[in-house]
Structure 1
Amino acid sequence: MTGIFADEARTALQSHRQQQHAAQVRDRGLAERAQRVRDVTDPISLGVHPSAVRRTDRLESDRVPAFVERDQFDEVVRRIAQGGFVLIVGDSTAGKSRLAYEAMRVAVPDFVLLQARPSEDMQAFSSAVCALRRSVVWFDEFDQFLRAGGLTLQMVKDMLAGPEREVVLLASMRSKEYDRYSARQRDVTDAATWRAGREVLLHAAEPVELDRLWSPREIERAQGAGRDPRLRAAAQASDRFGVAEVLAAGPELLSDWMHAWQTGEHPRGAALVAAAVDCRRMGLHRPVPASLLVALHEVYLSARGGAVLRPEPLADALAWATAPVQGASSLLLPDQDSYLAFDYLIDFPGLPAIPERSWETLLPAVSAEDAFDIGWAAVDLMRPTIALKAFDIARGHEVPDADYAHAIALGNAGQPLPAVSRLRRLHQQRDTLLGPDHPDTLAARHDIARYLAEAGRLPEAVALLDRLAPDRERVLGARHAATLVTRTSKARFLRDGGDAPGALRQLREVLPDLTAALGPEHVDVLLTRQELARTLGRTGRTTDARVLMTEVLEDQQRILGAAHPHTLSTRFDLALLVGQSGEPEEAIRQLEALLGDQERILGLHSRTLSTRHQLGRLLAQTGDLDQAQEVLAAVLADQERFHGSSHPRTLATRYDHALVMRSTQGARTAAALLAALEEDCLRALGGSHPLTQTVVTARR
């Protein structure tokens, strides 16, 4: 017995010594990285994009032009001096990092600066920060710290806590990533987005938003900025681009990439860049190993013509893609034997859809934590099959929240009742662990209602929201976004259940509250106005609906951009209203124009398939039955491949195809099709689903 205890003691002591040594090594490494803010003279080391090289009078290279004070400068200085969590949000190359760098040098020059790295242990890093009394913690591209296994709310609280400590968490983040984490996208519910990441962001104050395009006062300051020709040239292009993006050579790099596809230029290099860009669009925001990038780039090279383009050798392609333009940034940023796409390229609105083969090649090559992030990117881009595969990988390795994410993806993939069953179990777990009033527990109840509605059990979904709304108002407040979303969801369920007048009243009541709480340009406000226009159409007020939908479309094009999925969705709704107004030919013309844009931007996508479905219906309405049958048969084949044979959208397309077949092939053929469809609807959706009831009535 003594020998056993002695062995255990020796093992424990050895483990303790190993942990102590690791902590000493870690702390020593962090100490070597720490500097006084005033001593950090190279902003590029913190993530500031370099500009074109300029030779000074002393023949030295100058890669950072003079700082032009932004309109938000004083506000950022004030917030940093005040301490706490300061977040700056804006497009790529808007100047976020440079603004943060210059502001902290003014506000807290004597503080210790510690730069966080996404690859390190955040728990150990936050513990080291807690040992510092006066410090600035620098987070560049903050979304990379919010992934599975990354920064948590408790770590943030610990870093900021403590008597006689002054700490600033200074973070920058691209607007697109902030929007995703802040649940501005309706397709991903407030409970389904990155829960831990959202908790961290909610702990920050309202972010400082930095516009890519500079104000007239900022441009005037740039034009008067001494003798630096780079600033004057960038200011002259400010009618089309932001001054900071011109300085970082963003537009020039984008142009180089677009032209490199030409035969005899750099098509292999362009394909490598396209693969790296799509890795980031697919949710992988860390450098991609060269071997994976090489495997992926063949998809893009083949799609453009392959050998016909006379692609250059791989070594030449990598050299071209990593060469800085005029000493500024490059298309691919090398990191040992891995590469990261320049973030300016990711936000370009004209990028084509991500090929299916890219998802299939990427998923098996990444970690479980990366698979979790890829799964949410797939949810955002409405790739339900990919999302399920990605979350399965994450679940197999017990990534936090992967089970919940898988349930959401299951519902989005056309299996709402299995999703409800899983969500009820997960809700019970949250109720037990977190309590019934925890926001996550309440959010699970909202998601259960959502998928009950998709399963056709609309009265049950409305009743659930009626109980949830007062609980959310009591816990979160009447003007909290989640409380308001509960009310808009109820209106949508009422309308889909046949009570369009009741839905109209509900939407008119909630819209002013939503606008007052979030502002008129918030995405949720735009989407609620879109729902109001849809509901007006359901009540027969088509003219009013078209006027409102047109106004929403104009605002979305201005605020979100013409290529945003929400903008494309509103164009779809407007075309349907045109058809309801007795103008099917004009509606067909609008849908055909929309389809071209959707196929270019989204590719094979749920919304692209819906547009093709409605085109088939309108063609039948105009009497072009043969063309309608051809269109519906083609979209049905793609629906079955994309969504699966049991998805409600696939079943709805089968129904409309059967109706056209009744006119072209006779009642006997249509009856057989409807009989088989009725059985499939009963099995997949249940007898109470509106589509099932419609099919039963049509068959009779």
Structure 2
Amino acid sequence: MSQDPQPGAPHDPVGEVLRLLKSAAGPANPMVLLDGPPLSGVSRSMYEALQTQLPHARLHQLTAGELADACTGPDTSRLFFAPGHQCVVWLDGLSPADLVLLGQGFLDQVLPQALVMASVNSAWRERILRDRSTLTAPARTVLLEYAQRVSVPFTMTARERSYLRENGFPVSKGLAESLVGGENLIKHYRRAGWENRDGRLLVEAAVDVRRCGIHRPLSEDELHQLWLARCADGSDPRFQQALEWAGTAPQNASMGLLYPAARTPSRPAGGWRVLAYAAGADDGDHGHRARPLDDAWEQVRELLTGADDQYALGVAAHLHGRGGTARAALADAVERAAPEHPIADAARSALHCLSPDDLG
């Protein structure tokens, strides 16, 4: 469905993105940041605007870490050079750690060569802007000085509601949320507390990884270990049944709570992503009851031990006021990353910003 209810109106994020993209032909490319809650339609808004304004652009979908790696390579321009084409970098679902990393000077290298489009969850953005520490200062620089923000509203216009009804979709809270059956998925998730405890524990474990600041896909083995941390008497067959339940779309929904991630050169195995809308519900979005993270911080720190994960966990823990976890995770990231890797530098800088009162 084309989203152009009233061009130029506040509810028209595609029109706002189009306005910003018109400056893409100039010497300084913009960074366009789409800001909205999960399932507000930020990705659809990006693709629709890009197809309208820059249909022949060369699109690179990267993570912030992959972009930083590219910038430290011998010839950054090779990634973005496409004769006769505008290059666009799409950074989808930035975590707090991603924003801190991007603020380490990498955008200065990329924006002369490529347009950067990105998305961020509104809740993370607000939490970062409320934080006044030097640790998150690079992220605030990105949000306030580099990014031209486009807010993607969750509410629907009357036209969008009519479109859903005419095409047989359930009309719920938001457009993208209605298209995938977001509220039905949350009801399915909540009912699993007594209908499918193993499946519920698996989804909770994956949701909490995202709530702890780690937005990447999870491998089946990682999901298994996270599940066992909450279901100590679990067997392999029970885990497989739980994974099948979590990945199956329930009635009146078009996807599962867990869904296969796209394969990329950096992640050839793909893995599983968790529905970000479920993570938002557990954080208290849209009137849902928030679920405490409790022991999840330490479970995630013990089981996802890679430098990238520890760095992401450390930044998110700091934003949640968990200084000890932040210090321990950032120290692990420094120790486990290659000495000259961008993550090592970012984690080292973040660690130095922590207060001496933040004991490990």
Q: TM-score, normalised by structure 1?
A: 0.42
1:174 Cα deviation from its structure 2 partner: 1.3
CA distance in structure 2 between the partners assigned to 1:393 and 1:275 by the alignment: 22
1:100 Cα deviation from its structure 2 partner: 1.4
1:184 Cα deviation from its structure 2 partner: 1.9
1:161 Cα deviation from its structure 2 partner: 2.0
Determine if contact 2:81/2:87 at 8 Å carries over to the other structure.
no
Change (3 A) 1:225 1:362: closer
Q: Percent identity?
A: 24
CA distance in structure 2 between the partners assigned to 1:242 and 1:94 by the alignment: 6
Determine if contact 1:321/1:330 at 8 Å carries over to the other structure.
yes
SS in 2 for 1:382: coil
1:91 Cα deviation from its structure 2 partner: 0.4
Determine if contact 1:368/1:393 at 8 Å carries over to the other structure.
yes
Determine if contact 1:332/1:342 at 8 Å carries over to the other structure.
yes
Q: Partner residue of 1:69?
A: 4
Q: Partner residue of 2:219?
A: 289
1:130 Cα deviation from its structure 2 partner: 3.7
Out of 205, 209, 227, the position equivalent to 2:151 is: 209
Q: Partner residue of 2:307?
A: 368
Q: TM-score, normalised by structure 2?
A: 0.77
Q: Which has the higher contact order (CA 8 A, sep 6+)?
A: 2
Determine if contact 2:198/2:239 at 8 Å carries over to the other structure.
yes
**1:142-181 alignment to 2 at 5 Å?**
142-144=93-95, 147=98, 151=102, 154-161=105-112, 167-180=114-127
Determine if contact 1:78/1:107 at 8 Å carries over to the other structure.
no
Q: Partner residue of 2:192?
A: 260
Q: Partner residue of 2:8?
A: none
**1:323 paired to 2:323:** no
Structure with bigger gyration radius: 1
Determine if contact 2:91/2:119 at 8 Å carries over to the other structure.
yes
Determine if contact 2:64/2:98 at 8 Å carries over to the other structure.
no
SS in 2 for 1:313: helix
SS in 2 for 1:113: strand
SS in 2 for 1:318: helix
Q: Partner residue of 1:16?
A: none
CA distance in structure 2 between the partners assigned to 1:322 and 1:316 by the alignment: 10
What is the identity, as a one-letter code, of the residue corresponding to 1:97? S
CA distance in structure 1 between the partners assigned to 2:272 and 2:334 by the alignment: 28
Deviations 1:103-129 (A, max 9, x none): 122212233333324564432595334
Out of 321, 334, 341, the position equivalent to 2:274 is: 341
Change (3 A) 1:400 1:148: farther
Determine if contact 1:118/1:144 at 8 Å carries over to the other structure.
no
Q: Partner residue of 1:400?
A: 345
Change (3 A) 1:156 1:384: closer
SS in 2 for 1:288: coil
**1:201-600 alignment to 2 at 5 Å?**
201-214=143-156, 218-223=157-162, 227-230=166-169, 233-234=170-171, 237=172, 241-262=173-194, 265-301=195-231, 313-325=238-250, 328-335=254-261, 336=269, 338-348=271-281, 349=284, 350-356=289-295, 358-364=296-302, 365-397=304-336, 399-413=344-358
Question: Once superposed, what is the RMSD of the aligned Cα atoms?
Answer: 3.2
Q: Partner residue of 2:45?
A: 99
1:279 Cα deviation from its structure 2 partner: 0.7
SS in 2 for 1:170: strand
Out of 33, 38, 57, the position equivalent to 1:87 is: 33
1:220 Cα deviation from its structure 2 partner: 2.7
1:318 Cα deviation from its structure 2 partner: 0.6
Bigger mean CA deviation after superposition, 123-132 or 389-398: 123-132
1:282 Cα deviation from its structure 2 partner: 1.3
CA distance in structure 2 between the partners assigned to 1:338 and 1:205 by the alignment: 30
Out of 48, 57, 60, the position equivalent to 1:111 is: 57
Q: Partner residue of 1:612?
A: none
CA distance in structure 1 between the partners assigned to 2:165 and 2:197 by the alignment: 41
Change (3 A) 1:92 1:412: farther
Determine if contact 1:69/1:221 at 8 Å carries over to the other structure.
no
Q: Partner residue of 2:27?
A: none
